[in-house]
Amino acid sequence: RTYQILHGEMRAVGVNDFGRNATLMLNIDEPALDWVMMAKGMGVEAARATTAEEFASLFKAALAKKGPFLIEAAI
C-alpha cells in the first residue's frame, strides 16, 4: 500500500529518511483503498486473494472469462 517506485526515486536523490508529510504522500494506506470495490464500481469483475492458492484459482478463473478481471493480491 505504497508508491514503492517513488520511495526508490527519493532514495536515488539521496533521501533515505522520510518525514511524516512525505510518508503520507508516498503511501496509499490512509484511507485504505478497496481495490475490489473500486473495480466493481467501474464495471470490472474483481476479487481479493490472500493466499497463493486463492490467487491461482482466481487467475485460472479470470483467464476463462472474457474481458478484464482485477485480482487484488494481498501479500
pLDDT single digits (tens) 5-26: 888 888 899 988 888 887 787 8
Average pLDDT, the chain: 90
pTM of the model: 0.66
Whether the Cβ atoms of residue 4 and residue 26 lie closer than 8 Å to each other: no
CA neighbor of 67 nearest in space, from 38, 41, 44: 44
CA neighbor of 58 nearest in space, from 48, 67, 68: 48
Instruction: Show the cell assigned to 26.
Output: 508516498
Domain residue spans in the chain?
Answer: 1-32, 34-75
What sign does the CA torsion over 36, 53, 2, 24 have? positive
